[in-house]
């Protein structure tokens, strides 16, 4: 991988491993042949019944290579390490607006619903955020555990977010975000139809932090270059208005990039109160922007990991097909 920060991986892996160290009486099993998780557990745990094995899974007490697994049909490969946790198992996060889709010693990847901030806008705020929910979650497992913001989604944008479990990893992922991320895909419903069904939007962004707004210029005015690729999936009419469902890929990651770019083309994201040219209402009562795919190189394993959140069903109310 290009531009890797020398030595930083050893630092944060050692620190996180110390914080997350397994109790000595956990059961650790090594996989010697290809199989599925449930029959492996039944065979290795002294004639355990299928029901008991499934209870271990539902209680989040089974880890494969230090990652929690709950599916009984998870494939196992030669060399995998299966750990059975003692006690009551890992605490399960249950929240109507947040779901954990992946967790290991280093990262937590979540699927966020609209209406939830990533992190509080003002320091000391008591508002519930993704950060505050996850902080409580990891500290219930160990009071010394922490959670650290790598990137953000707007309050009304739903989809995939990743958090780090150490400040070293947080800084590493932020500094090398462009080198780590291999794919980042959004889905949006916009007003009208794009002039070209597929294309690239390039402009230069200037952020007015005082008024919390971003301005776009088609020529280099000293701002930051922003590049968004889009493709129309479908268009249709709903209650007299034409809407289009777009798939978007970010080449850069500027503040409000998709919203600003689409508004600059005269096709704002439905429900965008900031950049919607006065069209603040949404027939489905939300901003129609969703972070569908986040794919990146895992800093610990150096393997590409892919996470995906399904397109909200409500988007199909506006755009059929």
Residue 269's Cβ-side half-sphere holds a number of Cα atoms within 13 Å equal to: 27
Nearest residue to 270 (alpha-carbon basis) of 310, 241, 231, 311: 241
CB 228 within 8 A of CB 261: yes
Residue 51's Cβ-side half-sphere holds a number of Cα atoms within 13 Å equal to: 0
Alpha helices in the chain (DSSP H): 8-19, 37-44, 50-58, 130-141, 167-175, 177-180, 257-264, 315-318
Residues in the chain: 321
Round to whole Å and give the CA distance between 213 and 164: 28
Residue listed under structure tokens 């969703």: 290
CB 313 within 8 A of CB 179: no
* Catalytic status, residue 285: no
Phi and psi (nearest 5°) for 52? -65, -40
Round to whole Å and give the CA distance between 167 and 179: 19
Catalytic residue among 154, 175, 195, 224: 154
Structural tokens at position 212: 């919390």
Round to whole Å and give the CA distance between 314 and 312: 5
Residue listed under structure tokens 């902080």: 135
Distance from the first to the final alpha carbon of the chain: 40
Which residues participate in catalysis according to the annotation? 154
């Amino acid at each position: 991988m290009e531009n890797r920060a020398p030595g930083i991986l050893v630092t944060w892996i050692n620190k996180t491993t110390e914080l997350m160290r397994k109790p000595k009486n956990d059961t650790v099993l090594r996989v010697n042949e290809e199989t599925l998780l449930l029959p492996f557990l039944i065979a290795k745990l002294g004639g355990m019944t299928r029901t008991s094995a499934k209870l271990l899974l539902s209680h989040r007490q089974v880890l494969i290579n230090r990652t929690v697994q709950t599916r009984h049909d998870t494939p196992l490969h030669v060399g995998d390490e299966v750990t059975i946790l003692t006690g009551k198992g890992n605490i399960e996060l249950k929240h109507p607006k947040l779901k954990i889709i992946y967790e290991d010693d280093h990262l937590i990847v979540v699927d966020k619903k609209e209406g939830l901030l990533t992190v509080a806008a003002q320091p000391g705020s008591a508002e519930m955020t993704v950060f505050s929910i996850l902080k409580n979650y990891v500290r219930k497992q160990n009071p010394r555990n922490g959670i650290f913001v790598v990137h953000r989604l707007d309050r009304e944008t739903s989809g995939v977010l990743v958090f780090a479990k150490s400040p070293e990893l947080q800084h590493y992922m932020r500094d090398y975000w462009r080198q780590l991320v291999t794919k980042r895909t959004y889905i949006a419903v916009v007003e009208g139809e794009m002039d070209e069904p597929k294309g690239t939007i390039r402009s230069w962004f200037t952020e007015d932090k005082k008024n919390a707004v971003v301005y776009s210029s088609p020529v280099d005015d000293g701002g930051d270059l922003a590049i968004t690729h889009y493709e129309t999936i479908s268009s249709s009419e709903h209650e007299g208005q034409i809407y289009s469902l777009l798939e978007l890929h970010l080449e850069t990651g500027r503040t409000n990039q998709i919203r600003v770019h689409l508004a600059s083309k005269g096709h704002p994201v439905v429900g965008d109160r900031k950049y919607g040219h006065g069209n603040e209402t949404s027939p489905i009562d939300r901003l129609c922007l969703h972070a569908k795919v986040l794919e990146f190189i895992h800093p610990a394993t150096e393997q590409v990991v892919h996470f995906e959140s399904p397109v909200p069903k409500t988007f199909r109310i506006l755009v059929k097909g």
